[in-house]
Structure 1
Amino acid sequence: MTPGPLGLGIIVASIAAGVGALYLLQYLYSQKGKAGADWFMGNMASVALFCLSYGISLVITNPTLRIVLGAVAFICVCFMGPFFLAFGLDYTGRGDLIRTPLFGIVAIVPLLSIGLAATNSIHGLIWADFQFDPVFGLATVTYTVQPWGVFALLFSIGTAAVGSLLLIGAILSYGSLYRREATAVILSTLPPSVGVSFWLFEIGPVPQLHLTAPLMLIHVTLDAYAFVGTHMFETNPATQRMAERTGLDSLSDPVLILDTEQQIVGANDRAEDVFFNTTSISLPVPLEATLGVTLETLRETGEITVETEGGGIFAVSYTPLTDPSGESVGSMVVLYDVTDQRQREQQLAVLNRILRHNLRNETTVISGYAELLEADSTDPHHVTQAGTIAAASNRLKSIAEKVRTFENVQQRVRQPESLSIRDVVADIEQTYSTTYPDATITWTASPPDLRFRTDPELLSMLLKNLVENAIVHSESSEPTVPVAVSEGDAPRKGIQVVIRDSNDPIPDYEIETLRAGEETPLQHGQGVGLWIAYWCIRKLNGEIDFEYDEGNVLIVSLPPMAE
């Protein structure tokens, strides 16, 4: 028996679908353990085995072997639907249902079909009257599908449909985030479902031909797009559903649900402990009567102090609630306990003021006496020691001044204005020509009349600290620091400042801790200067990059501030 061109095409399509499913199965293995991935691997394994067994069976004329391959194909179809249902449940965050007795009933159907298929010759519950009925030169067969066979196949189609409905629900619930992937997977179930239905109910001119296998090529292609083309398992609806199922009571911070009239209509356990722990109260109650402020005031201040037992200082987070049509149905207010944070801030502010005051006063005393000792002493050794004391005292005084500058940066409210880069450059040159007379600062600006809208105080502090950092770390007695300012690249259209030196590389750990916002070792107070520059950049919404090219290259990019 030699297959004709059409028959050969059906074989090739079936085998290709099986090979494609195996490739997809290999890819899915890298996603093993993610929500739904393991179950979809089971589905793909069933598809691969079905397509390969059916494609091979079309050239097998041995009756016994042909029955075995047909039984394998039948069992694979029985497993496809339940596997897809399990995938849909797990992928959409309902994986707990897979471990229930109800899903156990779902699993019994394909498992029981294995035993019935293996013993069909005894009871004939799945098929009967098996005989060859060649078409297109293929070893196709016809037989009568018995009640259990019809039930098992329709059950597989039905469970696949339920899995599709779960994905449709994810699309409707979570918008466009999973639309492309889920739609592709939903559509992929249609070709095999149509193929099984046509074959089962003998629809079409060649009912003995099981078109499900070649149609699986479309199924595998759509699944490949969903998983390989869009990385379906990188994000999935299970995340959102689990967040929803977490519920209000699991949150450790007070949560209040308000209606459109600013009445509290819902509260989690923590909110009840804070606001309603003294008396039993029935909702709804006005927000103002409970918190002592209106919602507008609460949102405006962003913080509230609660004097009740279990209360404290809370930061306010407000979220509007809308129905599917976009109409407002109320709001949710989450109060984050910042009591400890505020107390630490107060303690640090007091300690900071005391530290700066004492440092400044005591180092002034130390410097004064060190200079007197240096002037009055005739012993060269004592003169050197007095100079060392004075230098150390000056470094401590510098640290205190920089700490004050750092505090000012953090507390400063930005005040943008249009300024000339040339004016900023002139100010910095004047500052360091006096402080470091042996240093040379070279400037270039492109264009020369470049103007830029930003906070002049923050920009000046930023550039001064970076330039000073380059000067004081230089091993040369006459250091040169080139600084180039130019217009930044689109779309930011701000400025780019490049500061170079010929010093040793800034240690990687200092750069890493700087970016991480952690404490970094300070050397002679200059570490504080780098912190000041970094926080100025943060305040200006800019970025800084560190490179090394026979010296450090610091590249600062700043966007313009809005009017």
Structure 2
Amino acid sequence: MIDLQYTPYIIPLISVTVISVVLALIVWPRRPGPGITPFLVLTMALAEWSLASVLELSSVDLQDKIFFSNLQYIGITGVPGAWLAFTLEYTGRERWLSRRRVALLLIEPALTLLVAFTNPSHGLFRARVTLDTTGSFNTFSSVFGPAFWAHGVYSYSLIIAGSYLLFQALLRSPRLYRSQILMLLLSSFAPWIANAVFIFGFSPPNLDLTPFAFTITVLAMGWSVYRYRFMDIVPVARETVIESMSDALLVLDRQNRIVDINPAGLHLLRQSSPSEVIGRMAGELLIGVPDLVEQYRTVMEANTEIAIPDGEKERYFSLKISPLLNRYGELTGRLIVLHEITALRLASEQIQAQNEALMATNR
């Protein structure tokens, strides 16, 4: 039988648990979608962490406290990987999440749990544990071992990586998504600042503020779901859009060097890798159409049709050229988009020929 004690500190932790579960239930029907699965894992990890914290604070005996503290690490070790996976999917980088890499992300949590629960035999996670009965409720303090610090470095690395991806998305995304992303970033800072405060001994004695700070996180996420339609409207990364375009896209700098190109552009230029193209002059790769290269060498804006030789035939494209400006309005290069209209052009010529033949017959 576990002896329990009451402390008002469990109230915000119970709130975090309930709100996390409610958020998961709200988002669950929206599967499948970018970020949905890792978001569900994240909310469930937060719920488990908070609930185990409630049990740890409520228990009286040292061994019970250690057990529930270890139990928290099911959620604690799940949060960093889920956060990184969520930010990867949310920002359109889900291709990085191969099965092999997801499996690698699970290794550290499994090892940490193993070391935490077997700590009495080696002391690598907690070198020393003592029960403090001097306050209004029993707490316990730990002198952390090397395995704890290794877990901390790993966790913070994943959190920082995920936050960096969101920060990049914040700078690039349209206004519609910025409030979502900013809320996510702010909500992620609170618990990790609280965790650092606890680890380095600046929190109230023997009280980990991290799960309490998740109150801010889940409230911010809840507000995002309600106010900004979070997980309904998810930004699509520039890379995803450009890589999947059927139109050839080339970005030239002011010296007409190619600085970016999509797969359709590589196919048009008969190149297999961006490394074969980036940094080269556009004219070097369009040697079959020197007149076109010369004609549009300095054109900043255009919307026309062109023909490009393809063996004994010709391929037809709509050509659109747009200037690229920096934040100060200065010209930095040009965007060239080529949309193939060969089939449309040939069909139009065929219809025109049929109409002319019909008119000749009726004369």
Q: Which SS does the other structure have where 1:142 is aligned? A: strand
In structure 2, what is the Cα distance between the partners aligned to 1:351 and 1:242?
Answer: 42
Residue identity in the other structure for 1:209: L
In structure 2, what is the Cα distance between the partners aligned to 1:269 and 1:23?
Answer: 47
Show the counterpart of 1:285. Answer: 283
Show the counterpart of 1:305. Answer: 307
Task: Give the Å deviation of 1:164.
Answer: 0.8
> Which stretch of structure 1 is more off in the superposition, 188-197 or 314-323?
314-323
Root-mean-square deviation (CA, aligned residues, Å) is 3.5
- 1:330-479 aligned at under 5 Å gives the runs 330-349=333-352, 351=354
- 1:72-151 aligned at under 5 Å gives the runs 72-99=71-98, 106-134=105-133, 137-151=136-150
Structure 1 187/134 Cα, relative in aligned 2: closer, same or farther at 3 Å? farther
Q: What is the aligned length?
A: 343
Structure 1 74/311 Cα, relative in aligned 2: closer, same or farther at 3 Å? same
Show the counterpart of 1:218. Answer: 216
Q: TM-score, normalised by structure 2?
A: 0.79
Q: Which SS does the other structure have where 1:329 is aligned? A: strand
In structure 1, what is the Cα distance between the partners aligned to 2:190 and 2:49?
Answer: 14
Show the counterpart of 1:327. Answer: 330
In structure 2, what is the Cα distance between the partners aligned to 1:134 and 1:94?
Answer: 49
Q: Which runs of 5+ in 2 are unaligned?
A: 272-279
Q: Which runs of 5+ in 1 are unaligned?
A: 275-281, 362-563
Show the counterpart of 2:318. Answer: 315
Q: Which SS does the other structure have where 1:197 is aligned? A: helix
Higher relative contact order (CA 8 A, sep 6+): 2
Structure 1 199/341 Cα, relative in aligned 2: closer, same or farther at 3 Å? same
Show the counterpart of 1:207. Answer: 205
In structure 1, what is the Cα distance between the partners aligned to 2:183 and 2:247?
Answer: 40
Task: Give the Å deviation of 1:54.
Answer: 0.9
Residue identity in the other structure for 2:343: D
In structure 2, what is the Cα distance between the partners aligned to 1:301 and 1:222?
Answer: 46
- 1:505-544 aligned at under 5 Å gives the runs none
Show the counterpart of 1:46. Answer: 45
Whether contact under 8 Å (2:27, 2:231) holds in the other structure is no
Per-residue CA distance 1:184-212 (angstroms, 9 max, x = gap): 111112221122222222214x2212222
Show the counterpart of 1:159. Answer: 158
Show the counterpart of 1:60. Answer: 59
In structure 2, what is the Cα distance between the partners aligned to 1:326 and 1:300?
Answer: 19
Structure 1 80/252 Cα, relative in aligned 2: closer, same or farther at 3 Å? closer
Residue identity in the other structure for 2:336: V
In structure 2, what is the Cα distance between the partners aligned to 1:293 and 1:48?
Answer: 64
In structure 2, what is the Cα distance between the partners aligned to 1:72 and 1:210?
Answer: 15
Show the counterpart of 2:275. Answer: none
Residue identity in the other structure for 1:141: F
Task: Give the Å deviation of 1:102.
Answer: 7.0
Per-residue CA distance 1:108-137 (angstroms, 9 max, x = gap): 222101111221222222224434324763
Show the counterpart of 1:294. Answer: 295
In structure 1, what is the Cα distance between the partners aligned to 2:188 and 2:303?
Answer: 54
227, 238, 243: which one aligns with 1:229: 227
Whether contact under 8 Å (1:79, 1:156) holds in the other structure is no
Whether contact under 8 Å (2:62, 2:140) holds in the other structure is no
Task: Give the Å deviation of 1:56.
Answer: 2.8
Structure 1 114/238 Cα, relative in aligned 2: closer, same or farther at 3 Å? farther
Task: Give the Å deviation of 1:236.
Answer: 3.5
Q: Which SS does the other structure have where 1:285 is aligned? A: helix
Q: Which SS does the other structure have where 1:144 is aligned? A: strand
Whether contact under 8 Å (2:303, 2:321) holds in the other structure is no
Specify the structure having the higher radius of gyration (Cα). 1
Structure 1 99/326 Cα, relative in aligned 2: closer, same or farther at 3 Å? farther
